[in-house]
Chain A
């Protein structure tokens, strides 16, 4: 009896989310419902100190609620794991690192853009960025502007394009004109 009530409640919840006019709230709650997502990525870095952009490829893997792993395959294998408050991995010189986002808010402002979007965590996103959403359910554009002044001196905006519950294109626009573009190809479940 209680189980049936719960199911009803859940159904009505989903129904109301589907019925509501599409917007940030709906997008977030849809993203929030995703338990697991994995994708391949190709990232291009454009920087003033480089003569040509460098390209890297690899995979992204997300598990609700707070786990995100970026595994680079080319040009050099490397892995960074974001799990709840901890960001860990191996640095370029081979030194392992393990930092807490709460100890380094500026790092949080760089990584939460993607993680909190995937998690549909509007509260956390709102803590780090001003959020602007354009487009519709099948072709949306999320623009995240850092709130922290020190971070805004480095990063103008993070732009995420997506469709449904899938992220397709992630760009980081740095203040000095450097930028990175990541094309995300979701793995079919």
Chain B
């Protein structure tokens, strides 16, 4: 063994060990937000972050269906009791009344919370008016339920506050629990202690719910027919992870097995099979390690695409082995094909490099993974593989179909007219495509199935979570300022309720700013004045004066109390609302005011125009804008990648003719692929675009070999066999992924499988005669 060979082996082995060492330490994630892009604007970032780890991400929405209301209610109650005792949850809400903690918070702090607290309210005239209303309440049929608060709260602040909250919530209580759809569905809202992206904890919480439900089914009569539906970001995370694990394992196993069997059938030598996989495995290990070093973590999907790398890197060994002959041996073959192989790898790397600039961390990872993986794989093919190949290796036994294949390839140029007809038809199809070529819903990129998204929307609607389309966002440096902004925005919105929108929610409702709290305290007169006003107000009314002693006490206490802070809400359901609407992120405070049923966004925008730091976001417009940006980015990247590839070819050929010979089949393949992908009015996703970039990166190799190889005699037979084999491996690898239900896998898998196969065919038809 020469010194150079020994050095190559040593470097390879050290590299392998280093990679494995790194991989063992790098954390792996399955958080799908890696495929949600980094957002350019702070407001959008807040929304993305809210999705990722805000309070909203910790909510699990549960529904019980499939039985009469009383049965559903019994199940709901029992499950809620079990879950309240479980350690996984902060809060369980199934509508069994306002919790004691919430009642206490509202009751104790009514004079700081109610916007009815004004100086006029506590004058003799104001009190008299309130007391007259109390008298009327006392004579109404509802007196037994409501009269208890007359003494301590004659101005009715608690009732007003609760009524406004109830007005927002509009809950439907049947048989004592929260229901929807005329009692055919019982609802339960659970807030987990763990964050939404803590998938392990979310899975545990989901299991706890499942177990509580199974137990309730057993004990409640008729409970067997009850169905449980659960949704929420955490649930999506759990489901997606399961789906991804399942898909990636299943389809990479299918692909690997198919490729292994195929190679075994062709090589008829297990040893050669193992050797073929050496560059692939080395490349994959180095790629994962590189991603780990660069990003600090590796995403599950990146690994999932590892299988696609098999489809690409396995080609190198195939080219080497399949094109070797007894005369030149592997070394000789390498010398012959190396320039082509090197150019092919460079071209592929240029294509994949475009992904490095993607806003999607996932795609950037994929770029790093593929580039490093391909470079290592080709290096191992070049310098390590020849050492490992048995000295007497005489190339593959010639495949029986090889002569026929070569004849086919040599005859292929006759199909040029047919190809042009097909391309023309494809162009016509693309031209005739009804409507937009592009998927215009951001949700189409979500790994969550459309059915699950529908269930989620449905349940969200039922629990009255504002169906967030329009939201007012206020931003400031501190909590007090943002709460004041929220109060100003609320004041501007209030007159528009019933005209431009049907309602809204606001954080200041649950925790007023210190300034407003102080104003309300100042509105309450001192005890002596209030007592005198009350005495005057009672004149002519049949109330016993001593009944209102608790009112005087409570008002005096409220006047002297400290301002409310977030801590006062601990343990209440109100705090859930507040935390969802008032968010701190990196020293920036954001208040969110979700609007309901906006009919005139223009008027709302005008009403808020004077408030600095406050704006109306139309989330539909925002997400459309976001999607457009991603699409433009993907287009730019795909075009830039293609441009760099063209430039690379031009530089290496130093002539336009051969460059075009390589690019023309790719262009035609891309056009036909586009037509197939959009057949029947289907729309393209960003993932399809990235897929097309990969088609160019991978397919260019075929064109290069066609263009530079001699397609004659035994060598020609080996070349076409190797290309077919390589392409079948690519199609199998990516094609298997297209069977997945996760959009990113399907989108890229399908595109690349179709596109590369077409590239091979187009190259066979076009290149040969152009080169000869």
Contacts and interface: CB of A to CB of B under 8 A. Distances in A.
Contact of B174 (A50, A76, A93, A102): A102
Interface string A144-178: 00000000001100000000000000001010001
B150 interface: yes
Interface residues of A, number: 34
B544 interface: yes
B143 interface: yes
Contacts of B173: 102-105
Contacts of B176: 105
B529 to A, nearest CB: 23
A75 to B, nearest CB: 8
A80 to B, nearest CB: 7
B141 A54 contact: no
Interface stretch (B129-137, B301-309, B367-375, B421-429): B129-137
B539 to A, nearest CB: 12
A56 B141 contact: no
Contact of B543 (A43, A51, A80, A103): A51
Contact of A103 (B141, B142, B171): B171
Contacts of B145: 106-107, 110, 154
Interface string B145-183: 101001100001000100100000001111110000001
For the residues of A in contact with B, the DSSP-based class is mixed
A100 B172 contact: yes
A106 B172 CA distance: 14
A11 interface: no
A19 to B, nearest CB: 37
A50 B139 contact: no
B98 to A, nearest CB: 13
Contacts of A154: 144-145
A93 B146 CA distance: 14
Contact of A92 (B137, B141, B171, B543): B137
Interface residues of B, number: 32
A110 B172 contact: no
A188 interface: no
Contacts, number: 82
A95 interface: yes
Contact of B156 (A47, A93, A172, A180): A93
B183 A174 contact: no
A48 B544 CA distance: 8
A149 B132 CA distance: 31
B138 interface: yes
Contacts of B543: 49-51
A172 B151 contact: no
A45 interface: yes
Contacts of B560: none
B136 A92 contact: yes
Contacts of B141: 70, 80, 110-111, 172
Contacts of A54: 135, 138-139, 542
B144 A155 contact: yes
Contacts of A45: 138-139, 143
Contacts of B163: 95
Contacts of A72: 139
Given A95-B163, A110-B142, A47 B136 contact: no
24 contacts: A43-B139, A47-B143, A47-B147, A49-B150, A49-B547, A50-B138, A51-B543, A54-B135, A54-B542, A56-B139, A78-B136, A91-B137, A92-B136, A95-B163, A100-B172, A103-B173, A110-B141, A110-B142, A110-B144, A155-B144, A174-B144, A178-B143, A178-B144, A178-B147
Interface of A: 43, 45, 47-52, 54, 56, 70, 72, 76, 78, 80, 91-93, 95, 100, 102-107, 110-111, 154-155, 172, 174, 178, 180
